[in-house]
Amino acid sequence: MHYVHYVHYVHYVHYVQDITHVWISEGWLYLAVVIDLYSRKVVGWSMSSRMKASLVCDALTMAIWQRQPKARLIVHSDQGVQYASKAYRRLIKACRQHE
């Protein structure tokens, strides 16, 4: 009896990003997360007392650094102000250049 092994090649890596906030005794704390849609695991995150572009950039940088995707990266977000910032667009552009 012969067994056939199929290798599934992933041509795209899909990440989704979002921001939430949590009230703590010192005030609001913002949490940005990056989730891999395939594994449904949190692959990057960042926390800050301010909801700035660096919050989402740091989360995506962590995801890329830890996972180092070999396939084309597709990132979905709610396209809020932080995701439309110049810093975030530069980060996405840099990711595209390394594909």
pLDDT of residue 71: 76
DSSP letter at 25 equals T
Distance CA 81, CA 68 (A): 26
pLDDT of residue 94: 87
Distance CA 26, CA 49 (A): 9
At 65, is the secondary structure helix, strand, or coil? Answer: helix
Q: In 3D, which of 55, 65, 64 has the Cα closest to residue 87? A: 55
Q: Tell me the pLDDT of the chain (99 aa) as tens digits.
A: 555 544 455 577 889 999 999 999 999 999 999 999 989 999 999 999 999 999 999 999 999 998 887 778 889 999 899 999 999 999 988 887 766
Question: 40: which residues sit within 8 A by CB, 6+ positions away?
Answer: none
pLDDT of residue 10: 57
**In the chain, where the domains are located:** 12-97
At 27, is the secondary structure helix, strand, or coil? Answer: strand
Homologous superfamily (CATH) for 12-97: Ribonuclease H-like superfamily/Ribonuclease H (3.30.420.10)
pLDDT of residue 95: 81
Structural tokens at position 17: 């990003």
Q: What is the pTM of this model?
A: 0.82
